Structure 1
Amino acid sequence: MTRGARALLEPGALLSGALFRDLVSRGGVSTDALAPGTRLGAFRVVRELGRGGMGVVHLAERDDGEFTQQVALKCLVDRDSAASTELFLRERQILAGLRHPNIARLLDGGRADDGLLWFAMEWVEGERIDAHCARAGLGFEDRLRLWLGVAEAVQFAHARLLIHRDIKPGNVLVDADGQPRLLDFGIAALLGEGEGTRAYSPGHASPEQRAGGEVGTASDQYQLGRLLARMLSADEVSAEHATTSVLRSTLHPDRSDDAPSDAPATGLDIADDVELSATRRRELEAVLARACAQDPAHRYGSVAEFKGDVRRLLARRPVEARRGGWRYALLCAVRRRPRMAAFAATVAVVIVALVAGFNMRLAHERDVARTEAAKVKAINAFVNEDLLAAADPFEGHSPDVTVREALDRARDRLGDRFGDEAAVEAELRATLGWSYAGLSEYAAAITQLERALELRARLEPATAAESVRVRLELAHNLVSASRYAEAEPMLRALIDALAGVPARAVDRAHAQVTLAELLGFVGRSDDALAVYAAVEADLQRLGESHPIVLYRDDARAQLLLSLGRAREALPLFDVLVARSTAALGADTPQTWRLREGRARALRDLGRFDEAIEALRSLHAARVAAFGAEHRETLRNHNELAVALSRSGNREAAIAIWREDLAVRERRFGERHQGTLVARYNLANELAAVGRNREAEQAFRGVLEAERASLGPADPGTLVTQISLAETIGRQGRAREALVLLDDARETGHTTLASRPEASVLALVRSRQLHALGRTGEALAEARTALAGLEGTVGDAHRRTREAREWLATFPAGG
């Protein structure tokens, strides 16, 4: 239902608000319509819109030639003194500057020569907010969101020391765009502090207003609570009430809508469209009870706090108005993320089951019960005295001990406790390895996993389930640490060993997918695709939503991206996201990683706006789930920075990498691999925007750290050395750059063999030779670079295109 002209005359709405009633109580009002064409200030009356028992509202147009504008012109006669006119003009100027998208503004006003006092208000066509909620059948959350727009407007005005005094359904319209618009904000303030306290609508006024006491922001908060209760109410809004209402109960004693009410928060009669559980209803009642407390001191401290509790109610988080303790907080967490809660509960049950099973296995024979009990006691002592005690400040340790420090202390004591218990020590070494890997401390993880394998070898064959599990985790960490030469033979040996063990078929497929992923990383894309094809038969029987199948398809799509084949990768990611969402849920790490891969494909296709939007959404989800400093969140942030950089917004990318670098340095240390990657990305971006001196300094810092931690022949170290040489060359120091490049070629002749980085080195070296005038050598290097890149990453890759364009700059025929 569209709000008609008569709605302009309801209490508090435009002419007939609390201000109007108060003026009536102090003086007379003209109800004569103005003739069309009458001028008031800069406005010309067009026609009468409507009239009530206390005045007339006209549609008027600006008529000063400045610009076109329609307003609602409301007229009344003030018979007070000249001081009232001065106050009116001063307050009119203040209110005219109240600009907010949810506030209908006072535009102008004045006094005509014949004493007619007039207001020009923004002309808003819309529907009364409670009528809109009922007609549109809005649900609970939609009504809360609509109310939040009104609260935003009130908070905005409070920050500018303005109070509404008459917030109620009749003073809030929902416009054609579905946005709430608050009418007559601060009009009562035109009467001044002393007189304004008398201007209110009894049915919505705060207790202090009705008592004639001091009125402040807490009064508006009370009325916002009453408004929210009305928006959720099942009471129907009659056609008459949607357009007009009583002006004052004393003038129309047959109407009771404006009768005072002191209990808006209890006994709520909720509309049928508003589906609420008993818990959510109690939360709502608690919020409204606090906002509408009789004593202003017992209400929220501000509208912002009230609004915050409503947002928590909307997000299914614990509301402050209801103090329910840890059980209530847990209930909210489960309600907010039921799938994650179910997953966590499942994990907890599995852990309990594993622990129970382990203890049962230890004590399965009565004749060794004492021995096994001693083992359990030793494990408990290890956890409490070595692992957890590392963070005990009463034992002389820093209360701010990091997880890494606690793991290191536990690791150093592990051998002493379990020197004679190989099975227990192997299990704990593997657990430490997984914990280190979770911190991206791959070197430490590899050491623990290798020790666990040594211990396992004394107890069971290499194809036993636990040994295979540890070996796969070790291979993953070797790949993550770029130690491909060690990981590949380990994976091939494991694949061969499991070939004749049907019970380990899934583990064998897992090892094959990991091997294919490794081959893709080292540039052997054809071999990788061949392995993916070979494992197809083994995976078909598992079903398309099995984790190993999803891992295989994800890794294959990532390989296509690395080959510059984003157009093929994108539809594969679309399918994978749908499968993972159906099987695991939309808000799971696996699904998020697939969505991130899809965003990377969009980025590589030049669809930057879509990619950036998707990555920002993922970043928000990961921050909510893991926090801003989790490695998954930081990795996603890095991908967002890359997308911003590719889109041309390099300064935004630099800002992200600086922010993340500070986090990584603080959390993981300056020598951590993740920290070095962030510093490398920042240096690379600085070089891209021409800030070569800063980039050179950053590259030198990364190179020094990588040489110390990874070794000079590590592929990552050599890539940094090549980038440093390229940055130096851009500064006109080609001879110095060549020294670095020749050293990298010699040092990495084995580790870079058949890898695309060797071709990138040749491309950078070609440019330096060309700068020194050694054109023949430069041409040979350019041809080597192009051939190498075409053979590793393919024709469509960015570096391949770059090499082809560089080669084209040489004269035909060499």
Structure 2
Amino acid sequence: MHAVTALIHADRQSGVLPTVPPTRNDGGEATPPESDADIVPERLGNYRLVTVLGQGGMGIVYLGERADGLFDQRVAVKLIRRQLGTRGAAAFDAERRLLARMEHPNIARLIDGGVAADGRPWLAIEHVAGVAIDAAGLGRPLAQRVGLFLQAARATRFAHGQLVAHGDIKPANILVTGDDQAKLLDFGVARLIGAAGPEAVRSYTPGFASPERVAGAPPSVLDDVFALGRTLAAIVGDSADIELTAMVACATASEARRYASVELLIKDLENWLERRPVVAMGGGSAYRARKFVQRHRFGVIASLLAIVGLIGAGIVAETNRRQAERARTVEALRFADAHRTAHYLMFTLLDRLEHRPGTLRLRTQVAAVAQRYLDRLAASPGATRDVRLDVAKGYLQATVTAGMSNSPNLGDVNLAMHDLASAQAMLARLRQEEPHWQALADPVGRAASLECQNQLYGAHDARQAVETGRHGVATVDSILDDPAARRIANWSTRICIGDALVWLNRSDRAIRIHPAKAAARSAVFHELDAAVVE
């Protein structure tokens, strides 16, 4: 059957405007309609038509050159096919209006438009000298191919932000230029989201249209997600990458299981490039542990994996506890990973390594990694009060590990002071929010004790040590109502005050305390109360 007859037949039988030229039903090659292909207008508007660049089911695209002499310019001129009539003209007009909304570096922009002498509408669009994205990716590393695809996906996300669904995403409609810039083309069947036009509601490209689109639904966000998934599959080819395969499957799944937006597909691809967990994998603790190792395969993580798989065990335990939170966003997962890892490194691993000989270098590396995680957690605006309190405790532990304790440490006093200041600042903010939160008492008391010790043994300023210690005791007392709890929280701070009083030759008021003297604690506290108040 002749191609024009096939087009008319398809129009009558199904209401579909094809986005590819019709083919013969006798097994022959596609035949362009002679009435359009052979009759090339010499000029449309200010542009002289040079040659045919390509053609689809709705129109023919010509290379056009500016002909009014004002300046040199090449454009792609799209002219509707004669036989499509008013329904095709309406779709063509819709494309022109929607293209006018698109201003994005990865979308071919609208330049001009008008009506030919025979009444057919035409568009002048940015001329993109490039090749289809699947061909452009041949021979490239997988990450580069994904990078090209991300440009097109972000352009689609922009279009959705303008309430425009493209409706015909496929490799042929994404061209890559010589400087590796991807351009999304052909909004010929695009529609405003939620306002599909009846004149071309079933226009689609077989193989790239979603099942609901084939069934008669208009272009939509989920339809574009499906088409992007099929396009991604064409770009990565026969790659054996499991995560990319999972992303393609998620993008092309049923509506209920498909990515709910292009943004979620983009985030998964960005996670893949950064070696972070991919949501489409639905992986558990072992998967997250593997991704964690991939991001830090050198240095600390390699050493940690050698220590009886402690990090793997910690991640498994923590992720099992958080299975109910799998539906969180990627950002929430990143935050949870940072919190979990910092807590494990600072409170579990360093304590174990402290009693192992020959681990100083490894402890230094672990402390550096834990420091970075603590800084990220402290800067997070969405951290709960419990997380921030945990971060403050982590800074206090880092203070002791770095160099502010009588036990073996890394000898980095400057880092210790930085961590102590960070802990005090976070505790101060928490006290402002909840002055009587009893969980603050112990870390506030520990921070006061560490600062008192630094002023006494580091700066040799006994008077300042006494003042700092007394202020710390008063702060703890303002948080707690129970006298016994106050004494426990202020125990180490009071010892530091007693040592400082000895330095000031006030032995009559100073009492040295040893933990073994448990029976005398009540009397000791009574004497220290008098020394602190004085």
TM-score scaled by length of structure 2: 0.54
2:195 pairs with 1:436? no
Between the aligned partners of 2:265 and 2:425, the Cα distance in structure 1 is 36
Q: Contact between 1:126 and 1:176, CA under 8 Å: does it hold in 2?
A: yes
Q: Distance in 1 between matches of 2:38 and 2:186?
A: 22
Report the Cα offset of residue 478 of structure 1.
8.5
Cα distance in 1 between the residues matched to 2:260 and 2:276: 20
Decide which of 212, 234, 255 is 1:296's aligned counterpart: 255
**Residue of structure 1 equivalent to 2:529:** none
Q: Does 1:167 align with 2:130?
A: no
Question: Deviation of residue 78 (structure 1)?
Answer: 4.8
Shift of 1:286: 1.9
Are positions 1:32 and 2:30 aligned together? Answer: no
Q: Distance in 2 between matches of 1:357 and 1:89?
A: 76
Query: What CA distance in whole angstroms lies between the structure 2 residues aligned with 1:31 and 1:215?
Result: 29
1:562-586 CA deviation, whole Å, 9 max, x = no partner?
xxxxxxxxxxxxxxxxxxxxxxxxx
Q: Which residue of 2 aligns with 1:315?
A: 274
User: Equivalences for 1:97-176 in 2 at 5 Å?
Assistant: 97-134=101-138, 137-176=139-178
Distance in 2 between the 1:318 and 1:404 partners?
24
How big is the shift at 1:41? Answer: 2.2
2 CA distance for matches of 1:159 and 1:403?
39
2:436 counterpart residue number = none
Percent sequence identity is 36
Closer, same or farther: CA 144–20 of 1 in aligned 2, 3 Å: closer
Aligned equivalents of 2:393, 2:276: Cα separation in 1: 33
Q: CA RMSD in A?
A: 4.5
Structure number with greater CO (CA < 8 Å, separation at least 6) is 2
How far apart are the structure 1 equivalents of 2:252 and 2:35?
34
**How do 1:219-234 residues align onto structure 2 when only pairs under 5 Å count?**
219-233=223-237
Aligned 8 A contact 1:77 1:117 in 2: no
1:478 and 1:116 map into 2 onto residues whose CA distance is 76
Equivalent position of 1:477 in the other structure: 413
Q: Kindly state the Cα deviation for residue 312 of structure 1 after the two structures are TM-superposed.
A: 1.3
Label 1:221 to 1:82 Cα distance change in 2 as closer, same or farther (>3 A). closer
SS of the aligned residue for 1:71 comes to strand
Report how many residues are paired.
344
Of 214, 225, 231, 1:210 maps to 214
Residue deviations 1:687-736, cap 9 Å, x none?
Answer: xxxxxxxxxxxxxxxxxxx9xx979xx89xxxxxxxxxxxxxxxxxxxxx
Within 5 A, what are the aligned runs for 1:748-767?
none
Residue type at the aligned position of 1:345: L
The residue that corresponds to 2:313 in the other structure is none
Amino acid across the alignment from 1:30? D
Counterpart Cα distance in 2 of 1:405 and 1:203: 55
User: CA 1:39–1:154 in 2, change beyond 3 Å: closer, same or farther?
Assistant: same
Q: Which residue of 2 aligns with 1:326?
A: 285
Q: Would the aligned equivalents of 1:102 and 1:179 in 2 still touch at CA under 8 Å?
A: yes
Q: Which residue of 1 aligns with 2:294?
A: 335
The answer to whether the 8 A contact 1:31-1:54 is kept is: no
Residue 320 of structure 1, CA deviation? 0.9
- How far apart are the structure 1 equivalents of 2:207 and 2:155? 22
Write the letter of the residue equivalent to 2:125.
M
What does 1:534-549 correspond to in 2, within 5 Å? none
* Pairwise CA distance, 1:43: 2.2
SS of aligned partner of 2:96: helix
Distance 2:154 2:272 in 1: 16
1:287 to 247, 260, 265: 247
Aligned residue runs from structure 1 range 227-626, under 5 A: 227-233=231-237, 269-270=238-239, 276=240, 281-293=241-253, 295-339=254-298, 340-346=300-306, 399=386, 402=389, 435-437=398-400, 445=404, 448-449=405-406, 473=411, 476-477=412-413
8 Å contact kept, 2:202–2:216: yes
**SS of alignment partner, residue 202 of structure 2:** coil
Alignment partner, residue 426 of structure 2: 667
**Conserved 8 A contact 2:18-2:58:** no
Question: Does the 8 Å contact 2:64/2:75 carry over to 1?
Answer: yes
Using the alignment, how far apart are the partners of 2:217 and 2:235 within structure 1?
28
Instruction: Give yes or no for contact 1:28–1:77 (8 Å, CA) kept in 2.
Output: no
Whole-Å separation in 1 of the counterparts to 2:84 and 2:400: 80
8 Å CA contact retained: 1:164, 1:187: yes
Q: Structure 1 residue 52: deviation in Å?
A: 8.6
Give unmatched runs, 5+ long, in structure 1: 1-16, 234-268, 271-275, 359-397, 409-431, 453-468, 482-629, 633-660, 671-705, 716-814
Contact 1:87 1:192 in 2 (8 A): no
Write out per-residue CA displacement over residues 485-523 of structure 1, whole angstroms, 9 at most, x where no aligned residue: xxxxxxxxxxxxxxxxxxxxxxxxxxxxxxxxxxxxxxx
Greater fraction helix: 1
Matched residue type, 1:40 = L
**Equivalent residues of 1:29, 1:76 under 8 A apart:** no
Give the partner amino acid of 2:40. Answer: L
Distance in 1 (CA, whole Å) between partners of 2:160 and 2:414 is 59
Q: Deviations over 1:82-105 (max 9, x none)?
A: 787577546513312311111122
User: Does the aligned pair in 1 maintain the 2:191–2:219 contact within 8 Å?
Assistant: no
Q: Give the Cα separation in 2 of the matches to 1:44 and 1:72.
A: 11
- Does the CA-based 8 Å contact 1:99-1:105 persist in structure 2? yes
Q: Relative to 1, partners in 2 of residues 1:111 and 1:28: Cα closer, same or farther, differing over 3 Å?
A: farther
Q: Give the Å deviation of 1:161.
A: 1.0
TM-score (norm 1): 0.37
Measure, in 2, the Cα distance between the counterparts of 1:667 and 1:58: 65
TM alignment of 1:575-724, pairs within 5 A: 666-667=425-426, 669=428
Change (3 A) 1:76 1:225: same
Q: Given residue 221 of structure 1, which amino acid in structure 2 is its aligned partner?
A: V
Partners of 2:93 and 2:262 lie apart in 1 by 29
2:99 and 2:109 in contact (8 A); partners too: yes
Contact 1:41 1:110 in 2 (8 A): yes
Q: SS in structure 2 opposite 1:165?
A: coil
Determine the C-alpha separation between the residues in 2 that align with 1:63 and 1:288: 46
**Separation in 2, partners of 1:209, 1:132:** 28
Describe the SS at the equivalent of 1:321. helix
C-alpha distance in 2 between matches for 1:305 and 1:479:
39
Q: Distance in 2 between matches of 1:54 and 1:148?
A: 28
63, 66, 83: which one aligns with 1:59: 63
CA change 1:355–1:143 in 2 (3 A) is same
Alpha-carbon distance in 1 for matches of 2:392, 2:75: 69
Match of 2:63, SS? strand
Structure 1 residues 160, 435: closer, same or farther in 2, change over 3 A? closer
**DSSP-derived class of the 1:296 partner:** coil
Q: Does the C-alpha gap of structure 1 residues 55 and 631 become closer, same or farther in structure 2, counting only changes over 3 Å?
A: same
| 1:313–1:54 distance in 2 versus 1, CA, 3 Å | closer
Give structure 2 stretches of 5+ with no counterpart: 1-16, 23-32, 311-348, 358-384, 430-450, 461-534
